Amino acid sequence: MKGFAKMIWDFAEALKRHGNDGFKHVTVTEYTTRMKTCVDCEHFTDSKSCGLCGCHMPVKARWRTSQCADNPPKWLATNGSKGKEGTDTDPSD
């Protein structure tokens, strides 16, 4: 798990990418696929967060610019850009 200050910084960067993408979300199908992957992942925690990046996945998985924190990632950004991943945190969106 990242340090708190690093998580805040990464959240600001993730929010910027999300904003640059027009705050768009993935489709319901894509969201469901991402969340199923996370729920089945060894890094998924009881608090529905990713143990690698600390992100609250029900929120992170909605953003088109988000990407799985693992290396290699288990799912990718869908807006055509390459996300800097492992960086999003819960925006309470």
Q: Give me the residues that bind ligand SF4 (CB under 6 A), please.
A: 37-38, 41, 43-44, 50, 52, 57, 68-70, 74
Nearer to ligand SF4, 26 or 38 (CB): 38
Q: From the CB of 29, what's the least distance to ligand SF4, in Å?
A: 17
Output the smallest distance, CB 8 to ligand SF4, in A.
Answer: 18
For residue 86, what are the contacts with CB-CB under 8 A and spacing of at least 6? 10, 50, 52, 53, 69, 70
CB of 84 to ligand SF4, least distance (A): 14
Terminus-to-terminus CA distance in the chain, angstroms?
22
Around Cβ 15, how many Cβ atoms within 10 Å?
17
